[in-house]
Every structure is written in C-alpha cells, then in structure tokens.
C-alpha cells in the first residue's frame, strides 16, 4: 500500500534525522496499525503523554501515542468527572434556539436545508433571496434534514446540541460514557445510551445521520468506530465528524506536547480521515478547517516562548486590536491553507 501522507507533524530535519526509524519503545511483532494493519512505523517524537512515543504508520500516515496510556476500563473512568451545566450554557442554548426561530432562519431551514416540518411566517420572494444570500454566513454548521430525521450524537456530553436539533424536528439519540452527562441529557429528553458505541447494539441501518465531534482522537480503535457507524447508518446516510487537525499551525508549534493535550491518544489529518472513510465504504462530501482565536493565541505564545525564551506580554495577548487585526485574519488564512485547528469532514455512505 502506498503512503497516504509523508509529512504529518514532522519537519524535514526530523524526517531525516539519524535513527528516525529506530523506536525507543518499539511495538512487538503482533502490533499492527489500527487503520491499515501495517507493522511499519516511524518515531516522530520520543516523549509524549505518560512517557509514551508518538509513532506514525509508514503506510497510511496514522499518528498515535504508543503504548496507549489506558485500556478500555481506564478510558471509561477517565471521563467520569462531573459534567456540570451552568446557567451560561443554558442561556447560550436558549439564544441559539431563539435564533433558529427567527423568520429568516426558518425560511433558510425549510427552503434550503429540507426541514419540512418548519412553518415559516408568510413571506415574499425577497425573503427567500435574503435567506439564500445569508446561507454562507449563518448556514455553515447547519445539518440538512435527512430521511426520517434519526440522528445519533456519539460523545454527546450533556446533550445540549441534541436539544437544539430536537427543537427543529430531529429524532435525537446520544451515546456518552460519562454517567453524569448521561443523566443530565436524559432529563433533557434525549434518548441516551451510557457506555461505548459498540455496546449500544443499535439496529442495522437505524440512523440517517451520525454526529461525532472531538471524540475519535480519544478512542483506542478508530477503525472499530467507523465499522460500527457503517453498520448502523442507512445507505446514503451521512457522518459529520470533527477532530483536531494534526497538520494545524498549533500542532506544528506544540510538537510532541500537542497530541497528548486533553487526553488525546491519536491524531488525524484530512488525508487519514479520507483513508479510513474509504476503507469502510464512505466518500468525502465536504472538508472544512476551523481555527479558534484562543488556540491560535496559545500557539503563538508557545512558539514565542520557545524562540525568544519569554512569553508574549499580556498587553499583546489581551489586546482586542491585536486580536481583531492579526489573530482573526490569521485564523482565516490558516483555514484556507488547511492548517486550521480542527478538520471537519462530512462522509456519505455509498
């Protein structure tokens, strides 16, 4: 199998350094890449979270920490901290629901995103034209209605995004390992399964849409997750997946300290996501890159500390003019260059 990627996370000097293929913690002969089954790996960084080694598969480009710092039981317990919902979270949710109920948003949802059950106020042609013109600004993250409207959110947390989807007509289901979050989501009217996706035992072809946001980088076997998503998704169904981008500006700045941030045990680029999707019978319909102001500021500060041996002063980091004139345009540029913090992919089951 020919390589899918050749430069994730490593600069040319690291790629050619002596002994790059000799691994400090070399996997045994039974260890295979979770995505493609190859036994050929390369060391990107010797030190990562819990003294692990960051490896890259030489066949498909998959990047991960070895040995993985926790097994299945540890993975479940890792996420058992209380998932508190505060008044600000609920206020933001109500604000989003109120925005979706604005007449122009209702027209947008019904006319251009397939929401049949929405009844917008009587409108003229000008309102439809305005809704169409506003779609690039307000419709980027809207999931078009599909089929019978059965949607599953894997790793849904406390279910607030599902409450929003329910308010516009979706039949919503959630999977979450955090018992505190599951209890809260259930009280919000979400059909919940508390545990791993593979144990939920949904019927084959049950869902029209699956949403999995910032989850796949935490699981021991992304391949198993994709196989199960394929099983429970209807033909023509879609997956909306988002994960940190291993080729991002931030990843390049943080290097070995990036992958293990927030309990991540693997990293993905658009190319590796496309590879695993095709392996399981999906095609990529759409790819987007997203950069957040906070992450870019953190990366700039980290880069400056390593270069100048001191952090950027607060009067720069907290300066609103600097953020508006430098950081926000930089976010846009990074997204255009495919270096955004996160990569968002829409898959369709062929």
Residue 125 lies in a domain: no
Give tens-digit pLDDT for 96-148: 888 888 888 889 999 899 998 888 766 667 888 888 888 888 888 899 999 99
pLDDT of 15 above 50: no
CA 69 to chain centre: 21
Domain membership flag for residue 294: yes
Q: Are residues 158 and 18 in the same domain?
A: no
In eight-state DSSP terms, residue 217 is G
**285 inside domain:** yes
pLDDT tens figures, 147-165: 999 999 999 999 999 999 9
**pLDDT for 23:** 44
239 and 328, same domain (yes or no): yes
Check whether residue 173 and residue 307 sit in a common domain.
yes
In a shared domain, residues 334 and 195: yes
Average pLDDT (57-80) is: 71
Return the CATH number at 194: 3.40.50.150
> Residues 67, 148: one domain?
no
Examine the fold and report which residue of 22, 49, 71 is the final residue of a domain before the chain moves on.
71
Domain termination residue (choose one: 52, 71, 90): 71
Query: Are residues 156 and 267 both part of a single domain?
Result: yes
Q: What is the dihedral of CA 248, 252, 255, 257, to 10 degrees?
A: -50
65 lies in a domain? Answer: yes
Length of the chain: 350
Give the domain range for residue 17.
Answer: 12-71
* pLDDT score, position 74: 53
The answer to whether 268 and 343 are in contact (CB under 8 A) is: yes
Q: Quick one: pLDDT band at residue 84, thresholds 50, 70, 90?
A: low
| Mean pLDDT of the 176-186 span | 91
Return the higher-pLDDT residue of 281 and 2. 281
**Residues with Cβ within 8 Å of residue 231, at least 6 apart in sequence:** 204
Q: Please report which confidence band the pLDDT of residue 3 belongs to, taking 50, 70 and 90 as the band edges.
A: very low
Confidence band, pLDDT 50/70/90 cuts, at residue 48 = low
Q: CA 339: distance to chain centroid? A: 15
The predicted model gives 47-70 an average pLDDT of 80
| pLDDT surpassing 60 at residue 78 | no
Q: Does 93 fall in a domain?
A: no
pLDDT at 4 over 90: no
Final residue in a domain of this structure, among 71, 103, 118: 71
Residue 135 lies in a domain: no
Confidence band of 320 (pLDDT split at 50, 70, 90): very high
Measured CA to CA, the distance from residue 258 to residue 244 in angstroms comes to: 10
Q: How many CA atoms lie within 13 A of 162 on its CB side?
A: 33
Predicted local distance difference test score (pLDDT) of residue 224: 96
For the whole model, what pTM was predicted? 0.86
Do 286 and 292 touch, CB atoms closer than 8 A?
no
The verdict on 178 and 316 lying in the same domain is: yes
> Residues of the chain with pLDDT > 70: what percent?
82
Structure-token pair, residue 181: 């979050």
Quick one: 151 and 293 in the same domain?
yes
Which tokens is 132 given?
């169409």
Q: Is residue 80 part of a domain?
A: no
Q: List pLDDT tens digits, range 256-288.
A: 888 776 678 899 999 999 999 999 999 999 999
Task: Return mean pLDDT, the chain.
Answer: 85
d(CA 44, CA 6): 12
The yes-or-no verdict on residue 10 having pLDDT over 90 is no
**153 and 269, same domain (yes or no):** yes
How many domains is the chain built from?
A: 2
Asked whether the predicted pLDDT for residue 207 surpasses 60, the reply is yes
Res 221: pLDDT: 94
Q: Are 177 and 294 within one domain?
A: yes
Q: Are residues 32 and 178 in the same domain?
A: no
- State whether residue 312 is helix, strand or coil: coil
Assess if residue 210 is contained within a domain: yes
Q: Domain of 34: which CATH number?
A: 2.20.25
Same domain as 237, residue 153:
yes
């Amino acid at each position: 199998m020919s390589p899918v990627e050749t430069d994730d996370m490593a600069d040319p000097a690291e790629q050619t350094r002596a002994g790059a293929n000799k691994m400090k913690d070399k996997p045994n002969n039974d260890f295979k890449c979770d995505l493609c089954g190859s036994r050929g790996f390369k060391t990107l960084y010797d030190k990562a979270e819990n003294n692990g080694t960051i490896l890259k598969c030489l066949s498909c480009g998959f990047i991960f920490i070895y040995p993985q710092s926790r097994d299945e039981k540890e993975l479940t317990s890792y996420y058992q901290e209380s998932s508190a919902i505060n008044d600000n979270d609920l206020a933001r949710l109500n604000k989003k629901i109120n925005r979706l109920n604005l007449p122009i948003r209702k027209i947008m949802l019904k006319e251009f995103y397939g929401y049949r059950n929405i009844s917008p106020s009587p409108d003229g042609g000008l309102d439809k034209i305005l809704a169409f013109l506003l779609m690039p600004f307000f419709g980027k993250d809207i999931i078009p209605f599909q089929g019978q409207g059965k949607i599953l959110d894997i790793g849904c947390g406390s279910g607030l995004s599902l409450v929003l989807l329910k308010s516009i007509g979706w039949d919503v289901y959630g999977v979450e390992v955090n018992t505190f979050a599951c209890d809260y989501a259930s009280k919000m009217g979400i059909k919940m399964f508390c545990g791993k996706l593979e144990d939920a035992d949904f019927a084959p072809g049950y869902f029209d849409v699956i949403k999995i946001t910032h989850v796949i980088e935490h699981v021991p076997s992304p391949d198993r997750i994709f196989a199960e998503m394929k099983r429970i998704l209807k033909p023509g169904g879609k997956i909306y997946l988002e994960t940190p981008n291993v080729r991002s500006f931030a990843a390049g700045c943080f290097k070995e300290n990036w992958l293990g941030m927030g309990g991540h045990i693997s990293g993905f680029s658009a190319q590796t996501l496309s590879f695993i999707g095709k392996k399981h019978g999906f095609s990529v319909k759409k790819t987007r890159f997203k950069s957040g102001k906070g992450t870019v500021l953190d990366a700039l500060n980290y880069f400056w500390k390593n270069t100048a041996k001191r952090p950027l002063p607060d009067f720069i980091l907290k300066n609103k003019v600097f953020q508006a004139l430098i950081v926000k345009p930089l976010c846009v540029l990074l997204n255009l260059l495919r270096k955004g913090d996160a990569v968002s992919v829409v898959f369709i089951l062929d």
